[in-house]
């Protein structure tokens, strides 16, 4: 069977080499409505199906394009291939869970990175400084799925403090405390995987701020250390940290490892399932939704940067 499929694909590629314009146009049908209409008329009119592997792939793509355009024209977003339900319902059901996990995981990462970076910088060479460096190397060297399995073994199977999978208890769950109980381990994995980068950035920026002329002048004027830290050191240190958070947003939104390891009902897990089932309408919508989340998050990061550093203008 595999050999036969290989021969079909090889024959299709050979045929495409002799008819480059036709097959190149077929592969670009997603960008050219006229080619989609022409190819779909051939299929519906009994013009026959291409027996080659590349031709069958093209026919399948045309059918998906036609179905999507018909559903969009009727006011819908599309139907799932396997479950035969509206893909908009999947987005509505799973988007809040992804936003919840990403937001809490981001807060965990920022708190760990900011607190650890500030404490380690204010006490250079101390055991806290050395311990933070060791933890950075240790956590960064552990793959996220191994970290997830380790927390499940310790926090769930070993100590029994937290549930291993899911977002709510199957029977009688769904409350705020129940969701928060299920959220601890996935958010901790997501936060720990991002915290080393933030901690390193925070240490570097705090050290640079402490050595700046503005901080030295504030100390000479007799300002208290709390005032110097809150008004001079912290705003200068947070601005690059916000930029780094915006850069790391795609990993927070597309937390496939965390959602798959803990069976979290978010967008990333649904994207993996749709790709495995070849559910192209659902996969397309989830990809667009994830991209939109990253763009909105990046815009918010830029606005926060402007609020922290007023000297930077919109044109910069």
Condensed to tens digits (0 to 9), the pLDDT of residues 291-304 reads: 887 788 778 877 87
Judged against a pLDDT cut of 70, whether residue 241 lies above it is answered with yes
Q: Which domain holds residue 22?
A: 2-39+52-68
Condensed to tens digits (0 to 9), the pLDDT of residues 16-53 reads: 344 443 343 334 344 445 555 555 555 555 555 555 55
- In the chain, the percentage of residues whose pLDDT exceeds 90 is 0
Judged against a pLDDT cut of 70, whether residue 96 lies above it is answered with yes
What's the pLDDT at 29? 40
What's the pLDDT at 5? 36
Residues 59 and 183 in one domain: no
CA 71, CA 87: separation in Å to the nearest integer? 11
What's the pLDDT at 64? 59
Q: Bin 139: left if φ > 0, else alpha if -120 < ψ < 50, else beta.
A: alpha
| Residue bearing the bigger pLDDT, 154 or 49 | 154
Residues 105 and 196 in one domain: yes
Q: Is residue 61 part of a domain?
A: yes
Residues 61 and 121 in one domain: no
Quick check: pTM over 0.75? no
Closest CA to 263 of 203, 196, 186: 186
CA 4, CA 101: separation in Å to the nearest integer? 45
Q: Which two tokens stand for residue 251?
A: 């990993």
Residues 22 and 148 in one domain: no
Condensed to tens digits (0 to 9), the pLDDT of residues 173-196 reads: 667 888 888 888 888 888 888 888
Interval 159-164 mean pLDDT: 85
Closest CA to 255 of 108, 117, 113: 108
- In the chain, the percentage of residues whose pLDDT exceeds 70 is 66
Residue tagged 């705090």 (tokens): 206
Give the long-range contacts of residues 25-34, CB within 8 A, separation 24 or more.
26/58, 26/61, 26/62, 27/58, 29/58, 29/61, 29/62, 29/65, 30/61, 30/65, 33/69
Q: Is residue 178 part of a domain?
A: yes
CA 271, CA 273: separation in Å to the nearest integer? 5
- How many folded domains does the chain comprise? 2
Reported confidence tier of residue 61, pLDDT bands at 50, 70, 90: low
Q: Could you tell me the sign of the dihedral formed by the alpha carbons of 148, 102, 97, 74, in that order?
A: negative
Q: Is residue 293 part of a domain?
A: yes
What residues contact 178, with CB distance under 8 A and at least 6 apart? 168, 169
């Amino acid at each position: 069977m595999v050999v036969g499929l290989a021969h079909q694909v090889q024959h299709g590629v050979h045929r495409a080499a002799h008819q480059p314009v036709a097959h190149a146009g077929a592969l670009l049908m997603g960008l050219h409505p006229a080619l989609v209409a022409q190819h779909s008329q051939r299929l519906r009119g009994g013009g026959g199906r291409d027996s080659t592997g590349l031709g069958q792939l093209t026919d399948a793509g045309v059918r998906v394009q036609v179905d999507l355009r018909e559903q969009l024209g009727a006011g819908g977003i599309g139907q799932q291939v396997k479950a035969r339900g509206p893909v908009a319902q999947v987005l509505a059901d799973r988007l809040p869970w992804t936003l919840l996990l990403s937001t809490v995981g981001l807060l965990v990462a920022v708190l760990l990175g900011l607190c650890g970076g500030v404490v380690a910088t204010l006490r250079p060479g101390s055991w806290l400084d050395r311990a933070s460096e060791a933890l950075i190397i240790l956590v960064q060297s552990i793959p996220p799925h191994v970290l997830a399995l380790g927390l499940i073994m310790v926090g769930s199977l070993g100590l029994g403090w937290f549930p291993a999978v899911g977002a709510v208890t199957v029977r009688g769950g769904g409350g705020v405390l129940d969701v928060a109980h299920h959220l601890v381990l996935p958010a901790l994995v997501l936060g720990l995987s991002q915290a080393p980068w933030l901690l390193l950035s925070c240490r570097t920026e705090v050290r640079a701020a402490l050595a700046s002329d503005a901080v030295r002048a504030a100390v000479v004027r007799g300002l208290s250390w709390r005032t110097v830290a809150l008004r001079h050191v912290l705003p200068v240190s947070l601005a690059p940290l916000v930029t780094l958070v915006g850069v790391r947003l795609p990993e927070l939104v597309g937390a496939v490892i965390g959602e798959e390891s803990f069976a979290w009902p978010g967008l990333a897990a649904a994207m993996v399932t749709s790709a495995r089932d070849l559910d192209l309408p659902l996969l397309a919508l989830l990809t667009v939704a994830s991209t939109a989340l990253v763009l909105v998050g990046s815009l918010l990061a830029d606005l926060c940067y402007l609020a922290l550093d007023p000297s930077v203008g919109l044109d910069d």
